[in-house]
Every structure is written in structure tokens, then in C-alpha cells.
Amino acid sequence: MTDFEEFAAAALPGLLRFGHVLTGDPLRAEELVQQALVSTWQRWKKIEHDQPHAYVRRAMVHTHTSWWRRSRREASLPAGYDPAAPETGALEERDRTFAALRQLPPRQRAVIVLRYYEDLSEAEIARVLGCSPGTVKSQASRALRTLAGLLSPDLEKSSS
């Protein structure tokens, strides 16, 4: 087994989870991971092997952003989702959160996912996205403000 095959086998479960949170769709996540791994394999000899996970995550973010730009369509809410219906439980909360995440622009979504799902620091996120830590902070701030606006009406309803 080559170094790349060992890396891909070990990293696959985490990359699929990252892709699922990034895209909001498990099938789209598989496509995203596959495309990123193909891209990584083609450049494997040129990659700094102390950071292959960062390289693949960055490829995933760039690919997802490209897909989003090509489609330019709003993410639809899950079938049967009724924002007026009172919902309880962890699954409903997760679904509301995923729906709100899908409404963020790709770069803001990537920052939130890398920060709160992958638990990366601002500096690590900046390396993955190829931007400055200041850009990471501003994208996170905008994303959190948007998410608060999207989720706060639901939170207010559940606390009444």
C-alpha cells in the first residue's frame, strides 16, 4: 500500500463527515471527497506531507465553492420542513442548524465548519482557506450574525 493509499484510508471517515457538514448532503459529500482525493493524489509528490489533511480540506472547500458558484441557486429546505411547526429533540435541532448553515455563502460556511466542527484555530483555518486570519475572523463574524438571525426566531419560540 502506498503512502497516499494509507493516508486516504485513514482520513476517509473524517473527510466524509467534514464534507457532509460542508455540503449538507451525504451523497454530495462523497462526490466532494472523491474529487478532492483525486486532486490530492495527482499532486501527492509535491504536497508537504506534514499537512495532508489541510491540503485535502482546502481542496474540498475550493471545490465546494466552485460548485456553488456554478449553480448559484438557493439551498432548499428539507422536504416536509415547516418552520412554523413546534419541533423538539436533537434531530430537529440538527436539521434546523444544517438548514441555516446551507443558507450561508460557501466561504462563511467553510469557516464555521472548520472552526466549530473540525475545531481548528483561526490560523489553521486561514492556512486551509489560503487567506489571512483577519479574513477568517470577519467571515466568522458575518456567518455567526447570519446564523443568529436565522435561528433566533426558532429559539425564541421554544423558550416561550
User: How do residues 39-83 score in pLDDT, each as one tens digit?
Assistant: 888 888 887 667 788 889 888 988 888 776 666 544 454 555 555
Residue 13 has pLDDT above 90, yes or no: yes
CATH of the domain at 3: 1.10.1740
Do 102 and 148 belong to one domain?
yes
User: Among residues 29, 45, 73, which one ends one of the domains?
Assistant: 73
Specify if 78 maps to a domain: no
Rg (CA), the chain: 17
Specify if 82 maps to a domain: no
* DSSP 8-class letter at 88: -
CATH of the domain at 105: 1.10.10.10
Cell numbers standing for residue 89: 429533540
pLDDT of residue 25: 85
pLDDT of residue 160: 44
Cell numbers standing for residue 10: 485513514
Asked whether 123 and 98 are in contact (CB, 8 A), the reply is no
Alpha carbons 9 and 4: distance in angstroms, whole number: 8
- Provide the domain count of the chain: 2
Specify if 81 maps to a domain: no
Do 56 and 99 belong to one domain?
no
User: What is the dihedral sign for C-alpha 48, 54, 60, 63?
Assistant: negative
pLDDT of residue 72: 52
End-to-end CA gap in the chain: 58
Res. 88 pLDDT band, cuts 50 70 90 = low
Quote the domain boundaries for residue 10: 1-73
User: Among residues 46, 73, 100, which one ends one of the domains?
Assistant: 73
Specify if 79 maps to a domain: no
pTM of the predicted model, to two decimals?
0.55
